Chain A
Amino acid sequence: MFELPSGAEIQGIIASVTASVGFFIPEIYLSVLFMLLIVIDLVAKGRKNNLLSITTLLGLAGTLFFIYQQNALPAGELFFGMYVLDKFALFFKYFFVLSGMLAVIVTMSDEQFEREVKSMGEYYALIVSMVIGMIMMASSADLLMIFLSMELVSFTAYILTGYFKRNHRSSEAALKYLVYGAVSSGLMVYGFSLIYGLTAQTNLLKISMSLAAHGYDPLVMILATLFVLAGIGYKIGAVPFHFWSPDVYEGAPTPITALLSVASKAAGVALLMRFYYIAVPHNVKSYEDILGIDWHTLLMLLSVASMIYGNVVALWQKNVKRLLAYSSIAHAGYLLLSIIVLDELGTQATLFYLLSYLLMNFGAFYVVILIANKTGSENLEDYRGLGKTMPIAGAALTVFLVSLVGLPPTVGFIGKLMIFSALLSKGSLYMWLALIGIMTSVISLYYYMLIPLNMYLRESGNGSDAKSMNPGMIAQVLMSVLMFLTIYFGLFFAPLSDFARYSSSLFGITLH
């Protein structure tokens, strides 16, 4: 059926692969780290788990060095177009490694792990593998690669979500996540198969060219698009593909919630951007006519629904983690806003928003963990009076929440500013989107402020004092640093913004 490749071709393939490996060092390094962690876990069984966490932290930090080295490399395809290396991918490599590190740090402070599980075992290894998966998601340029990396992320996420095996909520979350995730990815891969059928291609760039050149059956395209969107939407947690997220976020160990809400969502965003920017042929003038489906409207609907739904339903939450889960749905909506603009400024805004979201959301979850360590609860009512007993935690959480609302002088404000700037740079075209974004962020103020309201405006029922509630020196320093950064980048955001702009170039297309 197929022609076997000749020797020369095989030589060429080997040479190409070897060459590609040179562009693949961070991923390889991380894989080594992953295996190392498993080995350490086996060898150092029974010892204190700090060894694992420190190794992970150092290992991830080391990755940053390799990623940094890739800055010098030119943008290009690897492994026969399966994989790309460009500034955009690099951004996400940094991003995921950083969020991995933050997740590790946050885990180290979380006392729930000591209560729930005997050994941290493969936990850190799984985090590393999730980071690998996410990095690959952001770098994939081929349907196959997309599918593989997404499943890698999903599988590790399932396990991590259910990591507290004896905890009902954690296990339930894992089950829900698994079922929902499996169906979503099943649909997506079915959609992939339809796209493959239409274009005979799996490479995004080639798909785009094929679609533009040959046209296709619109009905099939609609189905394919919707199936693919279901898969990506599930990763992003955008309405109406968000249903898994509140339950999973609530049930999962808090560091994993943070990782899912930030990194996994970012990976979805990266994938969406690459898919939307590259695979959908934008340069065909009448593409809306022949496509029968326009992504543009679709994403707008998704975005608006997410912003409204997330913010409105969050009003009713009494569990802080669940509240933040709904808030993360809303933030998915904000992220989508600037993707819709589909230009350089929009890309920059998205990337900037992700960075700010990393800072503030991880910060918020970190404080939530510290508070849960002391109070053993994530319920809103149990936050009463914490402003007095845990002053730094209270202040930090307030700053993070203010940043999530998008008020100056925090980085969250600049994020919103960039998004709305991107929208308004197109004149009045997207004004209504900006208006919805603005209105919903006012709504969000109410539920975010419920937390400071409980912490500061109400007195706690029990007589706990500041001494017994002290979260420890390291935690205080870390919170302070995150709080400082949130404000600092709110006032002097040029470095982040420049970085986001520098990273807003995707291989294969030019954005204007």
Chain B
Amino acid sequence: MHSLIQLSIVVLLLPLLSFVILIFFNRRLPRRGDFIGVGILGTAFAISAYIFWSVVVQTYDPAFRLAWDFTWIDLGNVPGVGPLQIKMGIVIDNLTSIMLAMVTLISLLVHLYSTGYMAGDKNYGRYFAFLGIFTFSMLGIVLSDNLFSIYIFWELVGLSSYLLIGFFFEKESAADAQKKAFLANRVGDIGMWLGILILYSQFHTFSFSEIYANLAAGKFAMSHAWLTAAGILLFMGCVGKSAQFPLHIWLPDAMEGPTPVSALIHAATMVAAGVYFVARIFVILTPDALHVIAFIGASTAFMAATIAITQNDIKRVLAYSTVSQLGYMVLGLGVGAYSAALFHLVTHAFFKACLFLGSGAIIHAMHHEQDMRWMGGLRKHMPWTFATFTLATLALAGLPLTSGFLSKDAILAGAIGFAQVEGGGIFYLIPVLGFFSAMLTAFYMGRQIWLVFFGESRTHLKPADPHHSDHHAHDSHASHSDDHHTEHGVHEVSWNMRAPLVILATLSVFFVYSPDPLDGAKGWFMKMIPTPATVVGEANHQIGELPLGTHQPVLAGVAPTTEVSAPEVAAPAHGEAHAAAGAEHAEAGHHYADARQAEIVHAGHAAHYTAIYISSIMVVLGIGLAFVVYVFGIINPATTAETLRPLYLFSLNKWYWDEIYDATVIKGSMLLATMLSWFDTNVVDGLVNGIAFLTKKFAFANAGFDKYVVDGMVNFTAFSVNTTGALLRKLQTGKVQTYVVMLLLAVFGYFVYYYTRLIN
């Protein structure tokens, strides 16, 4: 076992250890054991940093890949398949090591930050335990080498998210939000699970490398549509987890969780997992599947941005901006700008975490006031927060010199290139939506900055709140004085909350990623994360529908130069073989398996400057608009909202998605459940067991019988048996002469029967 693998296992298990210790013993430890959480995460980050250093900095090889697995479940010699084992394993490549470092870093910072933010909560220890299990699950996703274990950790992330969103479970809204988040994720997960099932049913393996090798070898026996379906279904997992349209509804509600949690889970890591997963399966996505992904990403980006401009809750604005940015990443993957999308994932993780932690600091300082309408003027009271928050905002808006600029432009350039390659038309909608969203982003972030930090404090404007106690309930440690309406309570946060802000803000500047502030492609990140060769590209497009057995020659004829991982089919020793193949790929430059992929990348490169121009204009427009509205007051937002009332309401009410889901899916399910339950009690039970009400009306059903059998046994069967019995017993009149008559009737009846038989 390679030492890096061993280290990665340690990194994986450390947060779990933190969880186990804290969940059982937090009440017996000093400070409820928060130092254990922080310490363990520190260690984990240190090791991750070492891995990052060894892999990315020292090796500096785009094709670096290290794998290790073990047999988890042995199904024996399965008839029709042969020996079958389900394996679990770890794969380390550049992406993994970057993600590893990113996740542990942000987790560490959030742990640290939380020691300040959550201080005094009655479930303080449990909070750190939950952070631990979340980090464990997230690292599991990052390290997995197969679909099955990704799915496992995927769901565990869902669980930890559930636990953390509902951390203030005494509040009904938090309890609702956690349930909503879990269920929305589950909906995505079943799609993902079906996608996994499609692939498994063909190859009897969950391992990425084996699936890719088999696919590349054209062993997919079902029709090509199934392959596209598999891609889209797997993408559904991402739709759920990364809050893409139409499952985005859970993420804004998830802001009910503690703010550091929002930073960790709902900005930087968990939601990024969806994008990460799509990246992992990128090579099996067919062009059709990619189109779907691209459109979903674009529409998510646009929709969320339009919603964000009208929200008043500081965290909700950020939440919708997160949804919007995730839409960018998905869009990037969909258009084939693989590296750019992942780049944006990382940059966004840092600046969005910074924004959330910053908003947490503001909320903390404002004594759990989250409504921006009652903030204002905080610049003076919270300089550190203001500085870092603004820097992160610029990155989010995508102004040059920030990391966000590099990554967003790379995505938009890819989108333009994609539209060109696909032949324009409807496909231009994708870059157009992207650029428009960029403008909206700049606008709403400008609005936020202005409302929160500039102007005068508006705390006194807040109307008296009839549900006053709710604010206490929000964070139950908020048992401060009643004077939280007054401004003098606002002050800068302590060092343990400030330090993370500074670190994250630093990581939002361009030079961390690229020497050229205008071109991310020149940076190490884009170099280390090249677009992988598809295994289902045009070359395979036809093959899927050909009869079995003809695959190999066709493949060999069409794509002889590709790195179809042919060696892997023969010898699935993952590590070295793949690394070798990858290295060859790197030498050969950007040689793509199919023409389409290559064309998109080249077109993307060509469109690079176009994208810069357009997006810069857009950003400036957006910020300018924000200034026009909020700083110079040229346009009054209130009157504009009045004028555009339908649009305003549409945006404020989040496109009415919650209402639509409530009216259709939720109400529908509940109605169906009630109906089926009624059906079960009255019809199924009735038919099989009895039709109670009929029997109850049955005049001569005596009490005991009615009560104990008929009541429930009222169905057709028991009912008829009972009735028969009730009728038949009437024959027993008690008069002996009737009996004799019956006897003779019986004899006579038999006689008639036989006599007719006889004469026939």
Task: State if A and B touch, Cβ cutoff 8 Å.
Answer: yes
By a beta-carbon cutoff of 8 Å, the part of chain A in contact with chain B is 175-176, 179-180, 183-184, 187, 218-219, 222-223, 226-227, 229-230, 234, 240-241, 243-244, 246-247, 292-293, 298, 301, 308-309, 312-316, 318, 380-381, 443, 446, 453
Q: Which of B729, B737, B740, B754 contacts A316 (CB 8 A)?
A: B729
Q: Which of A222, A230, A316, A453 contacts B755 (CB 8 A)?
A: A222
Docked complex Cα distance between A183 and B747 (Å): 13
Q: Which of A175, A230, A246, A301 contacts B736 (CB 8 A)?
A: A175
Docked complex Cα distance between A292 and B754 (Å): 7
Docked complex Cα distance between A175 and B737 (Å): 11
Question: Which residues of A lie under 8 Å from residue B757 when comparing CB positions?
Answer: 292
B728, CB-defined interface residue at 8 Å: yes
B725 touches A312 (CB 8 A): yes
Looking at A179, A180, A308, A312, which has the most chain B CB atoms within 10 Å of its CB?
A: A312
Q: Which of B702, B709, B743 contacts A243 (CB 8 A)?
A: B743
Q: Which of A218, A243, A246 contacts B742 (CB 8 A)?
A: A243
A246 touches B732 (CB 8 A): yes
- Which are the 7 A-B pairs with shortest beta-carbon distances? A243-B739, A240-B746, A312-B725, A176-B736, A292-B758, A315-B725, A313-B729
B734, CB-defined interface residue at 8 Å: yes
Shortest distance from the beta carbon of A193 to any chain B beta carbon, whole Å? 16
B736 touches A316 (CB 8 A): no
Shortest distance from the beta carbon of B214 to any chain A beta carbon, whole Å? 51
Question: Which residues of B lie under 8 Å from residue A293 when comparing CB positions?
Answer: 754, 758
B643, CB-defined interface residue at 8 Å: no
8 Å CB interface, B707-760 against A: 708-709, 721-722, 724-726, 728-729, 731-732, 734, 736-740, 742-743, 745-747, 750-751, 754-755, 757-758
Question: Which residues of A lie under 8 Å from residue B743 when comparing CB positions?
Answer: 180, 183-184, 187, 230, 234, 240-241, 243
Q: Which residue of B lies closest to A457 (CB)?
A: B708
Q: Which of B737, B738, B745, B751 contacts A223 (CB 8 A)?
A: B751
Docked complex Cα distance between A223 and B702 (Å): 42
Looking at A223, A226, A298, A301, which has the most chain B CB atoms within 10 Å of its CB?
A: A226
Docked complex Cα distance between A227 and B726 (Å): 30
A241 touches B758 (CB 8 A): no
B70, CB-defined interface residue at 8 Å: no
By a beta-carbon cutoff of 8 Å, the part of chain B in contact with chain A is 702, 704-705, 708-709, 721-722, 724-726, 728-729, 731-732, 734, 736-740, 742-743, 745-747, 750-751, 754-755, 757-758
Q: Which of A226, A246, A314, A316 contacts B747 (CB 8 A)?
A: A226
Docked complex Cα distance between A343 and B722 (Å): 36
Q: Which residue of A lies closest to B724 (CB)?
A: A312
Looking at A219, A315, A318, A380, which has the most chain B CB atoms within 10 Å of its CB?
A: A315
A179 touches B736 (CB 8 A): yes
Shortest distance from the beta carbon of B391 to any chain A beta carbon, whole Å? 77
Question: Which residues of A lie under 8 Å from residue B728 when comparing CB positions?
Answer: 309, 312-313
Question: Which residues of B lie under 8 Å from residue A243 when comparing CB positions?
Answer: 731-732, 738-739, 742-743
Question: Which residues of A lie under 8 Å from residue B734 when comparing CB positions?
Answer: 247
Whether A226 touches B751, Cβ cut-off 8 Å, given contacts A241-B743, A312-B721, is yes
Question: Which residues of A lie under 8 Å from residue B722 when comparing CB positions?
Answer: 315-316
Question: Which residues of B lie under 8 Å from residue A176 when comparing CB positions?
Answer: 736, 739
| Majority-rule SS of A interface residues | helix
Question: Which residues of A lie under 8 Å from residue B750 when comparing CB positions?
Answer: 226, 229, 298, 301
Docked complex Cα distance between A176 and B739 (Å): 9
Q: Which residue of B lies closest to A227 (CB)?
A: B747
Question: Which residues of B lie under 8 Å from residue A227 when comparing CB positions?
Answer: 747
Whether A316 touches B705, Cβ cut-off 8 Å, given contacts A179-B736, A292-B758, is yes
Docked complex Cα distance between A292 and B757 (Å): 7
A179 touches B740 (CB 8 A): yes
Q: Which of B721, B736, B737, B745 contacts A443 (CB 8 A)?
A: B721
Question: Which residues of A lie under 8 Å from residue B742 when comparing CB positions?
Answer: 240, 243
Question: Which residues of B lie under 8 Å from residue A175 when comparing CB positions?
Answer: 736
Docked complex Cα distance between A315 and B719 (Å): 12
Docked complex Cα distance between A187 and B750 (Å): 15
Docked complex Cα distance between A179 and B737 (Å): 8
Docked complex Cα distance between A246 and B728 (Å): 13
Question: Which residues of A lie under 8 Å from residue B746 when comparing CB positions?
Answer: 230, 240-241
Shortest distance from the beta carbon of B328 to any chain A beta carbon, whole Å? 67
Question: Which residues of A lie under 8 Å from residue B725 when comparing CB positions?
Answer: 312-316
Docked complex Cα distance between A313 and B731 (Å): 10
Shortest distance from the beta carbon of A327 to any chain B beta carbon, whole Å? 13
Contacts A187-B747, A247-B732 known; 10 new A-B pairs at CB < 8 A:
A180-B739, A180-B743, A183-B743, A226-B751, A243-B738, A292-B758, A314-B725, A315-B721, A318-B704, A381-B704
Q: Which residue of B lies closest to A240 (CB)?
A: B746
Question: Which residues of A lie under 8 Å from residue B758 when comparing CB positions?
Answer: 218-219, 222, 292-293
B754 touches A222 (CB 8 A): yes
Docked complex Cα distance between A223 and B747 (Å): 9
Docked complex Cα distance between A313 and B725 (Å): 4
Question: Which residues of A lie under 8 Å from residue B731 when comparing CB positions?
Answer: 243
Shortest distance from the beta carbon of A386 to any chain B beta carbon, whole Å? 16
Shortest distance from the beta carbon of B749 to any chain A beta carbon, whole Å? 8
Docked complex Cα distance between A308 and B721 (Å): 9
Shortest distance from the beta carbon of A440 to any chain B beta carbon, whole Å? 9
Question: Which residues of A lie under 8 Å from residue B737 when comparing CB positions?
Answer: 179
B732 touches A313 (CB 8 A): yes
Whether A244 touches B726, Cβ cut-off 8 Å, given contacts A226-B751, A443-B721, is no
Q: Which residue of A lies closest to B741 (CB)?
A: A243
Shortest distance from the beta carbon of B712 to any chain A beta carbon, whole Å? 12
B751 touches A230 (CB 8 A): no
Question: Which residues of B lie under 8 Å from residue A246 when comparing CB positions?
Answer: 732
Shortest distance from the beta carbon of A328 to any chain B beta carbon, whole Å? 14
24 interchain pairs (CB within 8 A)?
Answer: A179-B737, A180-B740, A183-B743, A219-B755, A222-B751, A222-B754, A222-B755, A226-B747, A226-B751, A226-B754, A227-B747, A234-B743, A243-B731, A246-B732, A247-B736, A292-B758, A308-B724, A313-B729, A316-B722, A318-B702, A380-B704, A381-B704, A443-B721, A446-B709
Question: Which residues of A lie under 8 Å from residue B708 when comparing CB positions?
Answer: 453
Docked complex Cα distance between A176 and B733 (Å): 12
Q: Which residue of A lies closest to B749 (CB)?
A: A240
Question: Which residues of B lie under 8 Å from residue A314 when comparing CB positions?
Answer: 725
Question: Which residues of B lie under 8 Å from residue A316 when comparing CB positions?
Answer: 702, 705, 722, 725-726, 729
Question: Which residues of B lie under 8 Å from residue A244 when comparing CB positions?
Answer: 736, 739
Shortest distance from the beta carbon of B457 to any chain A beta carbon, whole Å? 74
A180 touches B736 (CB 8 A): yes
Question: Which residues of B lie under 8 Å from residue A187 when comparing CB positions?
Answer: 743, 747
Docked complex Cα distance between A187 and B726 (Å): 30
Docked complex Cα distance between A278 and B740 (Å): 29
Q: Which residue of A lies closest to B750 (CB)?
A: A226
Shortest distance from the beta carbon of A163 to any chain B beta carbon, whole Å? 19
Shortest distance from the beta carbon of A242 to any chain B beta carbon, whole Å? 9
Q: Which residue of A lies closest to B729 (CB)?
A: A313
Docked complex Cα distance between A86 and B757 (Å): 37
Shortest distance from the beta carbon of B735 to any chain A beta carbon, whole Å? 9
Shortest distance from the beta carbon of A194 to any chain B beta carbon, whole Å? 13
B732 touches A230 (CB 8 A): no
Whether A183 touches B740, Cβ cut-off 8 Å, given contacts A227-B747, A315-B725, is yes
Docked complex Cα distance between A219 and B746 (Å): 17
Docked complex Cα distance between A109 and B743 (Å): 36
Question: Which residues of B lie under 8 Å from residue A313 when comparing CB positions?
Answer: 725, 728-729, 732
Shortest distance from the beta carbon of A395 to any chain B beta carbon, whole Å? 22
Shortest distance from the beta carbon of A39 to any chain B beta carbon, whole Å? 36
Shortest distance from the beta carbon of A15 to any chain B beta carbon, whole Å? 44
Docked complex Cα distance between A223 and B754 (Å): 10
Looking at A180, A234, A246, which has the most chain B CB atoms within 10 Å of its CB?
A: A180
Question: Which residues of B lie under 8 Å from residue A184 when comparing CB positions?
Answer: 743
Shortest distance from the beta carbon of A266 to any chain B beta carbon, whole Å? 22
Q: Which residue of A lies closest to B736 (CB)?
A: A176
Question: Which residues of B lie under 8 Å from residue A443 when comparing CB positions?
Answer: 721
Q: Which residue of B lies closest to A322 (CB)?
A: B732
Shortest distance from the beta carbon of A156 to any chain B beta carbon, whole Å? 20
